[in-house]
Copies of this chain bind each other. A is one copy, B any other.
Amino acid sequence: MQGDTRPIGVFDSGMGGLTVLRALAARLPHERFVYLGDTARLPYGTKSADTVKAYALQATRLLLTENVKLVVIACNTASAVALKALTEALAPLPVIGVIEPGARASVAATRNNAIAVIATEGTVKGGAYARAIAALNGDIRIVQQPCQVFVALAEEGWADQPATFAAAKHYLDPLFAGPSPPDTLVLGCTHFPVLAQSIRAIIGSGVALVDSAETTAAEVAEALAGKGLASNAGDASSTRFFATDSPERFARVGAIFLGRPIDVATVELVDLRAL
């Protein structure tokens, strides 16, 4: 078969969503991907729901001009506040966010029904993970912590610097103190997988680390198969990238998240403001 050879559109406020693209490409190597990072307006995590919703709508309009067959919101903040609006605006195009898959994975992982969620300020404030987890299992106790400094540490590529350990200790120690600490930690921001080593060093080996990238990729694969949209004629390694600011910075910092070099010639500068 050739299948539906239109690309899958992936968007994020910046480069963090490349951890999701990485999982998607590994899972679906014969699909085509276009990735948009709204780097001129990042971060979304400290911005209000209305602002993020407006930005996300503009971002998906650009993906539509690329004739995508499915949209992945590879940004927790945008998934948290804009999934519903985007699903309605783009219907019947399937739209998949990262919150639901992450919530499902964490519910599957916990043994003691206590889950910790770390995310940006916007995601925590919106409470989307807590709602998604509660909808799956109302008996689960959820503790949340915004970890805004992690975003900057990840963008600097400080996977295991002393500053990263210190920040992880500051944020995570209180979450896992007390008599029955959570046994599962959701990395509720696409930046955070880069810091997994430092996070693991603080929380110990007994806590399950859940990142939404893998589970989101599984959900995308399922949606493609279910809707007859899959293809085996593409090449996930030849992704086209769009950024709303400096392609040089996108390529340099993006490599940290994608786990492979990005050729700056494959990154196109775009302006979303008129969309």
A61 at interface by CB-CB < 8 Å: no
A176 at interface by CB-CB < 8 Å: no
The CB with the most chain B CB atoms within 10 A, among A148, A149, A165, is that of A149
Main secondary structure of the interface of A (DSSP, over half): helix
| Interchain nearest-CB distance for A126 vs B (Å) | 12
**Pairwise interchain contact A47-B40, C-beta atoms closer than 8 A:** yes
Oligomer: number of copies: 2
Chain B neighbourhood of A163, CB < 8 A: 149, 163-164, 166-167, 170
Chain B neighbourhood of A41, CB < 8 A: 40-41
Can you identify 20 A-B contacts, CB atoms within 8 angstroms? A40-B41, A40-B51, A46-B249, A47-B246, A48-B245, A51-B245, A121-B249, A148-B152, A149-B149, A149-B153, A149-B158, A151-B152, A152-B152, A152-B153, A158-B170, A161-B167, A161-B170, A162-B166, A162-B170, A163-B170
Nearest B residue (CB) for A161: B170
- The docked-state distance in angstroms from the alpha carbon of A153 to that of B164 is 12
- The docked-state distance in angstroms from the alpha carbon of A165 to that of B165 is 12
For A43-65 the 0/1 string (1 means CB < 8 A from B) is 00011100100000000000000
A169 at interface by CB-CB < 8 Å: yes
When the two chains form the complex, which single residue of B148, B155, B164 contacts A148, counting CB atoms closer than 8 Å? Answer: B155
The CB with the most chain B CB atoms within 10 A, among A39, A156, A163, A170, is that of A163
